[in-house]
Chain A
Amino acid sequence: MNIHEYQAKELFEKFGVATPKGKVADTAEEAKTAAAELGDEIVVKAQVHAGGRGKGTFKNGFQGGVHLVKDANEAADIASKMLGQTLVTHQTGEEGKLVSKVMVADGVDIEKEYYLAILMDRESRSPVIVASTEGGVNIEDVAENTPEKIFNEEIHPLLGLQPYEIRNLSAGLGFSGDTAKQFGKLLKSLYNLFISCDCSMVEVNPLVTTPDGQVLALDAKFDFDDNALYRHPEIAELHDPTEEDPREVEAAKFDLNYIGLDGNIACLVNGAGLAMATMDIIKQSGGEPANFLDVGGGATQEQVRNAFKIILSDPNVKGILVNIFGGIMDCDVIAKGIVAACGEVDLNIPLVVRLEGNNVEAGKATLASSDVNLIAADTLADAAQKAVAAITV
């Protein structure tokens, strides 16, 4: 799960990670009030999850989702041009993102930009801290071109962050004296935040030093472990469903694992691995998958019905492939779910069904005796070929 920049700032403040002063505003008036409490260099930033905001364009023609202003009136003016408007950046796609909040923060004089991140590393099975003297740029490019400018520390899962590890990183970044001390305090707070909130990643890019000797986290990107949200209700609340594909939000309500893609053959599968493999074989057979959809190992008739509705809400979908390996799950239950779903939704595109496993004969009989117009397939390869053939006719 991702969060907005202003929410990240609030988390930083809560955990004592040094960051410029700022506030979120829903209206131009609020932006004005917030700006009045700040200095004479103020930054106004559109709040959407996508990157590339500074170089983005609003659909009303206004240029840039990040602006530097001098006073509260100017802040209000800029905010009024952003709020309620749709911002298009290289990450949003053509449709853009609606801006319903702006952040108003102290502008910062930057001496030098750095990079700092903590992530859960699957290979070492521990948190790893990554720091670099190259900030404000894409860290993957730095890793590719100048790997010597990146410093890593693997943190022991049970011992936690040790002072010597902070010293190692501080030395790598070239900090000394008071700057090193401030960096250490910031990193300790950031690590504490990472562990306390079950983050899978927190990336501060850039981390900056200022001419007056401060070390500040200027921007942050968070990723939280979805499996741990049950013990962090305050973080789960930060979730903004308007930032997500509405079909994915709808699917989540029914415990369905759905990811929308660009193709035209929808698939409904039980199990994540088999769902991925089904997408692959559609592509291999000359089609394009419209989605990933795992209905889980114990799907109910109700879930199958809702899965069909979500699949069919995608106007690009020209055909459906159902692939079920009923291990423990009864194929007849799935078959009844398909028949019920087709009775409710007005199905007018080809439906290819491949059932295998537990009680498969009863399932096939249920489908055959229904008035659902479907194409039966024996193997997954057969199903994929039939689905592609059906939509190309």
Chain B
Amino acid sequence: MAILVDENTKILIQGITGSFGGRHAQLSLDYGTQLVAGVTPGKGGQKFADTVPIFDTVGQAVQETGATVSTIFVPPPFAADAILEAVDAGVELVVAITEGIPVMDMMRVRAGMAGSGARLIGPNCPGIVTPGTGENSHGGCRIGIAPGYIHKRGKVGVVSRSGTLTYEAVYQLTSLGLGQSTCVGIGGDPINGTSHLDIMKMFNEDPETEAIIMIGEIGGTAEEEAAEWAKENCKKPIAGFIAGATAPPGRRMGHAGAIVSGGKGTAEAKIAAMRDAGIEVADNPSDMGAALVRAMG
């Protein structure tokens, strides 16, 4: 099982001919992911890596290949349009890797997607990995930019707003011999497609997932909402970590969404809400894997 995607999921990449998109498309192919199509307007008919057909529109790509997930590597000025194109073409899931999309574009995209049935992950996120069963987790579904080899197929669900902090957690888990069901980076922007809470609910329902790591950071109240839900509803052990306890108020710490303002979004409030929900909160980022072991008893 796993959530959102598995080794049979057919994905396409919008922006496959760009240097960043192309590099990660190749890494996904090397990982054994079912990358079946690329989309770059004006380059339809060409092939990526001599094997993956490129189309002018997402509609054509979906029709020809049956892809159900699109990954967005399109530059910020064109990313909102690319997401809406994917939704209109009928994909089930859009994963937006692009960093630096204007907030108003995301506001309109979210409003425009209402009722479509498609789910958006990101933007400004590392993507999704459902590890495979081969060596170095080969054969899984790698969408986005995460390093595939640090993963291991297993039973821990990982959800996070940050890229490298996710890798850090995954690496610790794998080093401890704990594999992952699915790892989801939801992104560091103020308006994103999928929240911690949405992913926690999926992990809770997923029979393969037996424990969860939730990694958050300062800004907004998404972690508090997830913790509040988990307190009453989550049947599985959870460990957590919040970055940004030392961040000064009013300053954006790299991610557009990581800002403490008007007394809201502090690390203290988030950690308190998580502890109140019975979540084992790691004292520091080196302790994330060990915290999960403690949570699992």
Partner of A276, one of B103, B110, B247, B263: B247
Q: Are A273 and B255 in contact (CB under 8 A)?
A: yes
- Asked if A325 and B167 make an inter-chain contact with CB atoms under 8 angstroms apart, the answer reads yes
A234 to chain B minimum Cβ distance, whole angstroms, is 16
Q: Would you list which residues of chain A between 263 and 314 have a CB under 8 Å from chain B? A: 269-284, 289, 292, 294, 297-298
> Which chain B residue has the least Cβ–Cβ distance from A139?
B262
Q: Count of chain A residues with Cβ under 8 Å from any Cβ of B?
A: 54
Given A273-B165, A273-B215, A297-B163, A358-B108 contact (CB < 8 Å): no
How long is the Cα–Cα vector from A255 to B150 in the complex, in angstroms?
28
Bits for A348-380, please: 1 = Cβ < 8 Å to B, else 0.
000000001110000000000000000000011
Tell me if B33 is interfacial: C-beta within 8 Å of chain A: no
Whether A277 and B111, one on each chain, are in contact in the complex, defined by CB atoms closer than 8 angstroms, is no
Number of A-B contacts (CB under 8 A): 174
Q: Does A57 lie at the interface of the complex (its beta carbon under 8 Å from any beta carbon of B)?
A: no
Q: Say how far A144's CB is from chain B's closest CB, in angstroms.
A: 9
CB distance from A52 to the nearest CB of B (A): 15
Given contacts A125-B110, A277-B285, A292-B254, whether A357 and B147 have CB atoms under 8 Å apart is: yes
Residues of A within 8 A of B101 (CB): 227
Contact of B251 among A157, A259, A280 (CB under 8 A): A259
- Given A274-B165, A274-B285, A277-B285, verify A123-B220 contact (CB < 8 Å): yes
Instruction: Give the shortest distance, in Å, between A261 (CB) and chain B (any CB).
Output: 7
Residues B241 and A357 in contact, CB atoms below 8 Å apart: no
Interface residue B76 (Cβ < 8 Å from any Cβ of A): yes
Partner of A225, one of B102, B165, B262: B102
The answer to whether B284 has its CB under 8 Å from any CB of chain A is yes
Q: Chain A residues near B20: list those with CB within 8 A.
A: 298
Interface contact A276-B77, CB-CB below 8 Å: no
B44 at the interface (CB under 8 A from A): no
**Who on chain A is nearest to B108 by CB?**
A157
Query: How far, in angstroms, from A127 to B191 measured CA to CA in the complex?
Result: 12
B221 surroundings in chain A (CB, below 8 A): 123
Asked if B100 is at the interface (CB within 8 A of a chain A CB), the reply is: yes
Minimum CB–CB distance from B112 to chain A (whole Å) comes to 7
Residues of B within 8 A of A274 (CB): 162, 164-165, 168, 243, 285
Q: Which residues of B contact A338 (CB under 8 A)?
A: none
- A158, A259, A381: which contacts B287 (Cβ < 8 A)? A381
The answer for the CA separation of A384 and B283 in the assembled complex, in Å, is 13
Contact pattern, A 207-234, Cβ under 8 Å of B = 1, otherwise 0: 0000000000000000001111011000
A125, A269, A276, A278: the one contacting B107 at CB < 8 Å is A125
Find out whether the CB atom of A325 lies under 8 angstroms from the CB atom of B164: yes
Closest chain B CB from A152 CB (angstroms): 13
Q: A122-B190, A356-B171 are in contact. Are A272 and B253 (CB under 8 A)?
A: yes
Determine how close the nearest CB of chain B comes to the CB of A50; give it in whole angstroms: 13
Interface residues of B in 114-172 (CB under 8 A from A): 126, 145-147, 149-150, 160-168, 171
How far does the alpha carbon of A272 sit from the alpha carbon of B244 in the complex, in Å?
Answer: 10
A292 contacts across to B, CB distance below 8 A: 247, 251, 253-254
Q: Does B104 contact A (CB under 8 A)?
A: yes
Query: Which residues on the A side are within 8 Å of B215 (C-beta)?
Result: 273
Task: Mark B190-223 against chain A: 1 for CB-CB distance below 8 A, else 0.
Answer: 1100000000000000000000000101111100
Chain A residues contacting B286 (CB-CB under 8 Å) are 281, 379-382
- Contact call A158/B108, Cβ cutoff below 8 A: yes
Contacting residue for A327 out of B150, B254, B267, CB 8 A = B150
Given contacts A272-B253, A273-B160, A328-B27, contact A357 B167 (CB under 8 A): yes
Within 8 A of A (CB), among B40-67: none
CA distance A314 to B175 in the complex (A): 37
CB <8 Å contact, B164 and A280: no
User: Please, which residue of chain B has its CB at the minimum distance from the CB of A195?
Assistant: B104
Total residues of chain B contacting the partner, CB 8 A: 64
Within 8 A of A (CB), among B239-257: 241, 243-248, 251, 253-257
Cα A13 to Cα B103 with chains together (Å): 25
Inter-subunit contact A327/B190 (CB<8 Å) = no
Residues of A within 8 A of B258 (CB): 272-273, 276
Q: Does A120 contact B (CB under 8 A)?
A: yes
Q: List chain B residues, Cβ under 8 A from A90.
A: none
Asked if B244 contacts A276 (CB within 8 A), the reply is yes
In the bound complex, do residue A279 and residue B164 qualify as a contact, i.e. CB atoms below 8 Å apart? no
**Residues from chain A with Cβ under 8 Å of B21 in the complex:** none
A230 to B220, CA, bound (A): 26
Does B188 belong to the interface (CB within 8 Å)? yes
Complex Cα spacing A65 to B283, Å = 46
List A contacts of B104 (CB < 8 A).
Answer: 120, 195, 198, 225, 228
- Which chain A residue shows the least CB distance to B191? A125
Task: List 17 additional contacts besides A198-B104, A277-B165; criterion CB under 8 Å.
Answer: A120-B107, A122-B219, A125-B107, A198-B103, A231-B102, A271-B162, A273-B166, A276-B244, A277-B244, A279-B244, A280-B243, A280-B284, A292-B254, A325-B164, A327-B163, A328-B27, A357-B171
For this complex, 23 residue pairs linking A to B, each with C-beta atoms less than 8 Å apart, are A122-B190, A157-B110, A198-B102, A200-B103, A227-B100, A227-B102, A228-B105, A259-B253, A261-B248, A271-B163, A272-B217, A273-B164, A273-B165, A273-B258, A274-B285, A276-B217, A276-B246, A277-B241, A279-B244, A283-B246, A325-B167, A379-B286, A380-B284
Residues on B lying within 8 angstroms of A by beta carbon are 20, 24, 27, 76-77, 100-108, 110-112, 126, 145-147, 149-150, 160-168, 171, 188, 190-191, 215, 217-221, 241, 243-248, 251, 253-258, 262-263, 267, 283-287
